[in-house]
Amino acid sequence: MPAIQSVETLVVQLPTRREHRWTGLNEPIGRYLLVKLTDDAGNVGWGEAPALKDWGGEYQRYFGESTATTELVVSRYLSKAIIGVDVRNIVEVHARMDSVLKGYPYAKAAVEFAVYDAAARSLNVPVYTLLGGSVRKRIPVTHSLGLISVADAEAEAAKVVSEGIKTIKIKIGVDPKRDVEVVRAVRSAVGSKAEICVDANEGYETAGLAIQTLRKMEQYDLKYAEQLVMGIEKLAQVAAAVDVPVMADESAWNAHDVIQIVERKAAQIVSIYTTKPGGLYRAMEVAAVARAAGLICNVNGSVETGVGNRANVHLAAAAPAVTLSCVVPVSTNAVDLDGRSGGIYYTDDLLKQSMTFNDGAIEVPDGPGFGIDVDEAKVDKYRISN
Ligand SMILES: [Mg+2]
C-alpha cells in the first residue's frame, strides 16, 4: 500500500495577461497555494488552492480563504491528519481532514487533488478513471470577460471568437445601463458565432432590478444568467420571472446547497467547482445531486494556474451532469502563447506542456494522474513568500 509520506506547501504568483475582476473581487488572481504530496512508493501529486479572500458563499457562508489561511490549514492540520493513509483511499483522506478541522474547502481541495494525482499515478491511470471514467474527451471553453470597458470587451470578444472560442461569459452586476450596453456590444461583435452568458456575482441589490435588467438583455440572446442576486430566495424570484435559464454559483457551494436550490426552484443550472465543495470527490457528489434533480451544470473556477486547472478538466471529463461549456482557463506556457487570448488569463504557466486547445475546446489529457506534469523549474520561478 502506497502510504502518504509528505505534504509540502508553497505559494506562487503568476503574471496576468490583463487585470481580471468581477463584482466583489478586489484582489489579483493568480496568487495561490500549491501542495506537493509524496507517497512512500515515490508517487508525487500536485494540487492547488485558488483561494481568494473576497470569494465566498452567500451571506458570508463559506468564508473567503487566502494563501495565508490555506497554508496554515494545510501545514498545521491537514497534512498531519493524512500522513500514513493509503494514497488510494480518498474517502479516508476526506474523513480525516473533516475530523481534524471543519470547513476550509479550498485548503482541503488542494490536498485532495494532490492525493488523486498521486493515487492515479500509482495505478497508472488518469484521474478521471478514478472518478468513474470519461463522458467527454474535449472540454469546450467559455471565455470570461472580466469587468473591463465596453470597448475592451467588444475587442476581446471578437479576438477570442476568431481563435475558436464559442461561448463568452460577460461579468455584469455593477450598473444596469453599462451591463445592457456591454451585452449589446459583445453580441454585435460576435454575431451568431458565439453564445453569450452573463454573471452578476450577486451584484444586483433586488430581484426586481435583476429581472428588469435581464428583460432588456434578452433581445441579445443569452444562454444563461448567473447569480444575479445574493441568496437562494431572491434567486428563486428572478428564476420564476424570466425566460433565460438562471445559474447558481455563490448559492451552490456543495451538495446540500443544491438540495436547497432544488427545493426553492432557484435555478435550472448549477456551477460546479472542484474547490467550493472541498475536492473532486465532493464535486462528483454535487454533480450527482444536480443530475438526480434534472439540473444541468458547467465546471467553473477561480482562474486556476495549470496545476489546479488539471482537476477542473478531469471533473468536466467525468461528470455526466456537466453538459455545458466550462469556464476553465486554457493553461498555456509563455512559449506557446503565440498572441492568443482565448481562455488565457496569464502570460505563463506551470506545466511541462501547455493544454491542447483545438476548435474551442481543451483536449482531456489521458496520461497517468492528471496527465500533464508540473514543471518544478517554473514553480521555482514564480514562487513568492507568503
Ligand atoms: Mg460565477
Q: Where are the domains of the chain?
A: 4-124+375-384, 130-363
How close is the Cα of 199 to the center of ligand 1, in Å? Answer: 6
Taking the centre of ligand 1 as the mean of its atom positions, its distance from the CA of residue 362, in whole angstroms, is 20
278: pLDDT confidence band, cut at 50, 70 and 90? very high
Indicate if the pLDDT at residue 386 is higher than 90: no
Find the DSSP H helices in 320-375: none
Q: Does residue 19 surpass a pLDDT of 90?
A: no
User: Three cell numbers at 317?
Assistant: 471529463
Which secondary-structure segment (H or E) carries 350?
none
Q: Is the pTM of this model over 0.85?
A: yes
Distance from the alpha carbon of residue 301 to the mean position of ligand 1, in angstroms: 8
Q: What single-letter amino acid sits at 41?
A: A
Q: How many angstroms does the Cα of residue 23 sit away from the middle of ligand 1?
A: 10
Number of H helices, E strands in the chain: 13, 14
Q: What is the CATH number of domain 4-124+375-384?
A: 3.30.390.10
The strand pairing partners of 11, in sequence order, are 33, 384
Cβ neighbours for 30, distance < 8 A, ≥ 6 positions apart:
12, 13, 14, 15, 16, 303, 305, 345, 346
Compute the distance between CA of residue 290 and CA of residue 323 in angstroms, rounded to an integer: 12
Mean pLDDT of all residues in 353-371 = 98
Does residue 133 have a pLDDT over 90? Answer: yes
For the domain bounded by 130-363, which CATH number is listed? 3.20.20.120
Confidence of residue 39 (pLDDT cuts 50, 70, 90): very high
Rounded mean pLDDT, 224-234? 98
Q: Ligand 1 centroid vs 41 CA: distance in angstroms? A: 40
d(CA 386, CA 384): 6
Contact 130, 116 (CB under 8 A): yes
As given in the structure block, the three cell numbers for residue 304 are 486556476
DSSP β-bridge partners for residue 197: 169
Q: Where residue 64 falls among pLDDT bands split at 50, 70, 90? A: very high
**Residue 20 reports pLDDT greater than 90:** no
The residues with which 358 forms a beta bridge, in sequence order, are 361
Asked if the domains 4-124+375-384 and 130-363 are classified in one and the same CATH topology, the answer is: no
